[in-house]
Amino acid sequence: MSTTYLEFLRAELVPGLMEGLWTSIVVIVPSAALGVLIGVLAGVLRVYGPRPVQRLTEAYVSLFRGTPLVVQVFFWYFALPYISLGGHSIVLDAIPASILAFGLCSGAYQSEYIRGGLNSIKRGQIRAALALGMTTRQAVQSVVLPQAFRRALPGCGNEIIYLIKYSSLASIITVGELTGTATTIAKNSWRNIEVFCTLGVYYLTLVTLATWLLHLAEDAMSVPGFERHKS
């Protein structure tokens, strides 16, 4: 305890956490993109797909929403290499394994919001578009999607905010992101409270920033009848 908190912060904590922050971003951004991609695909299939495909996507969603993310992370990193198909097995490094785990799990949640957005559009509006002579494709493009996007945005954005927090689980499989770096610093310095509280501030900042960006996006897309619900 020779150095003060501020000195410790400046000399060790901030440089270490900055490096971790970068790794966190390397994990979060592709996971979020993967999650949205899978979510849109699964959401559209759940609403418009043929019956068997609907069933299949429902099964995917309930499987990934029904089990803890940490179990899924563990599976992709530790268990996957043990599954061999014809003598080949897949071994993923820690970062790709986390991205895969986060993306697949997030996609299951995202698909719920996409589905909700698609279902929120009254069928009558599609009929009205067709009655004006639009093709189904034109109706989807200019009536369904713009509305579904607005309806799904708050949920999808929140899911990405959750993802920021849950990206901390990557530290469990040795990824040196924010939490992983903090754990290492804490072990070496024995200054647990200072290290982990500072870590908390990092996440609070990230989450608050993301929430603010989401609100900006919602407000920019807002038209009467699609306003942001103030919470």
Partner 1 sequence: MDFTVAYNAAHEALPYMLGGVVWTVGLIVGAMLLGLLLGVPLAVLHVYGPWPVRRAVSVYVWLFRGIPILVQMYIFYFGLLSWLSGMPLFSGLGLDSPFVAAVLVLGLTSSAYQSQIFRGAIQSLPAGQLKAARALGMTDPQAIRAVILPQALRLAIPAWSNEYSILLKDSALAFTIGVVEIMARMRAIASTTHEPVSMTFLAGIIFFALTWVGVKALSLLENRVRIAGYTRQGAA
Partner 2 sequence: MSAESLIPPVLEARTLGKTLGGNRVLDAVSLALPKGCVKVLIGPSGAGKSTLLQCLNFLIPPDSGTILLEGREVNGKSRRELCALRQQVGMIFQDFNLFDHLSALENVRVALMKVKGMSKLDAGELALAELARVGLADKAALYPANLSGGQKQRVAIARALAMDPKVMLLDEPTSALDPELIGEVLAVIRDLAQNGMTMIVATHQISFSASLADEFLFMEKGRVIESGSPTELLRRDSGSRTLAFCAKISELSGEADEMGAESLI
Residue 5 makes CB contacts below 8 A (sequence gap 6+) with 194
Residue 43: CB atoms within 10 A of its CB come to 26
Q: Give 103 or 117: the residue with its C-beta nearer to partner 2.
A: 117
168 binds partner 1 (CB under 8 A): yes
231 binds partner 1 (CB under 8 A): yes
82 binds partner 1 (CB under 8 A): yes
Interface stretch with partner 1, choices 8-16, 64-72, 111-119, 124-132 (CB under 8 A)? 64-72
Residue 84 contact partner, candidates partner 2, partner 1, none, CB within 5 to 8 A by sort of partner: partner 1
Q: Which of 62, 67, 89, 138 binds partner 2 (CB under 8 A)?
A: 138
Residue 33 contact partner, candidates partner 1, partner 2, none, CB within 5 to 8 A by sort of partner: none
Site for partner 2 in 148-177 (CB under 8 A): 150
69 binds partner 1 (CB under 8 A): yes
The partner residues of 89 in beta bridges, in order of sequence, read: 84
Question: CA 228 to CA 231: how far, in whole Å?
Answer: 9
Closest CA to 157 of 227, 200, 110, 103: 110
Q: In whole angstroms, how far apart are CA 190 and each of 8, 69, 187, 195, 196? A: 12, 29, 6, 9, 11
Token pair, residue 171, equals: 């530290």
Token pair, residue 7, equals: 């000195």
Residue 222: CB atoms within 10 A of its CB come to 13
128 binds partner 2 (CB under 8 A): yes
Question: CA 218 to CA 210: how far, in whole Å?
Answer: 12
132 binds partner 2 (CB under 8 A): yes
Q: Give 17 or 139: the residue with its C-beta nearer to partner 2.
A: 139
- How many Cα atoms sit within 13 Å of 176 on the Cβ side? 8
Give the residue carrying structure tokens 């698609």.
Answer: 118
Interface stretch with partner 1, choices 44-52, 92-100, 107-115, 169-177 (CB under 8 A)? 169-177
Residue 179 contact partner, candidates partner 2, partner 1, none, CB within 5 to 8 A by sort of partner: partner 1
Site for partner 1 in 44-63 (CB under 8 A): 63
Task: Output b/e per residue, 67-77; b: 16+ Cβ within 10 A.
Answer: eebeebbbebb
Q: Which of 25, 207, 215, 218 binds partner 1 (CB under 8 A)?
A: 207
Q: Which of 179, 181, 185, 214 binds partner 1 (CB under 8 A)?
A: 179
Residues engaged in binding partner 2 (CB under 8 A): 122, 124-125, 127-135, 138, 142-143, 146-147, 150, 223-226
